[in-house]
Amino acid sequence: MSAFNPRNCKPFPKKGDPKRQLPGFETKQEVAERQAKLICTLEKGNQDAVEAAQKIRECGQGQDCLTPICPKCLRMFRRWYVSQLERLTRPHELWAITVVPPRVRFAPGELHNLDLCQFKETFSKQVSRAGFHNLVMFGGVDIDFCVHSDNDFYPHWAPHLHCLFIGENGQEVKAALGRFYPPDHIAPRPIRAEKVKDPMEAISYPMKPFFGRRVSYIGGNGRRQSRDLRLQADELQEIGAYMGQHKHTDLLFLKNVRRRGCNLALNGCR
């Protein structure tokens, strides 16, 4: 079966297309600049990183590479994803939830051991076991490289999920999932839920245009804080090599939502 290519779904509807309606959505020029810098960095990595760079360099020359690390393909996927879910959820109240599994962390050089399919399936089953088998939920897998300025924990890759859902109170869902995600000193708040105020921005967030480095530190108030930075070269090479072996849909999480051709639909709806 051929990989899903959102280019075949163009033109995207004007209402809901983040290119037209989402402030700050990446432009073609920004994508081209990011792509050139990415290729340069990946070509200095290991064989897998070099192969990912080659895929990105050749992308669009007769065939799209469809890898999640390719800025050009990711922009196209984001336009399809956001426009579809904006249409699907327009009449509904949305909640956003972020889940950081405490037992799924990978030391530098070990990200290749992450099984995305199993990672998503585990979360889906936990949502069902928490009593929300019919919950309509969608979003995606994100991966941060996490470090602490005072070396309070070891540097690691932290896969997590950003999802949105309709039909249930977010605080109740968060409470029910809590037994699967106990806090620890690395992730003292492994689950966060909030009501969505800006649907289009919230829908686009799980499919961000880049992966980042999260630096934790103790602020002046004595509490843990964090700031987001760009990945360093070796980190970008590792995640580039990993993502070069995957497709966008490998990061996509859908529960009680299905894709039929170019369209997303709620289960039970035609």
Alpha helices, H only, 186-268: 199-204, 233-243, 248-251
- Omega within 30 of 0 (cis) for the link into 11: yes
pLDDT over 80 at 270, yes or no: no
Residue 191 DSSP label: E
Report yes or no: 80 and 262 within 8 Å, Cβ to Cβ: yes
User: What backbone phi and psi angles, to 5 degrees, belong to 259?
Assistant: -105, 130
Residue 26, both tokens: 């990446």
Per-residue pLDDT at 151: 85
pLDDT over 90 at 265, yes or no: yes
Per-residue pLDDT at 113: 98
- Structure pTM? 0.93
pLDDT over 90 at 1, yes or no: no
- Of the pLDDT bands very low, low, confident and very high (cuts 50, 70, 90), residue 60 is confident
156 - beta bridge partners?
146
Per-residue pLDDT at 269: 47
Distance of CA 92 to the CA centre of its chain: 22
DSSP SS3 for 138? strand
pLDDT over 70 at 268, yes or no: no
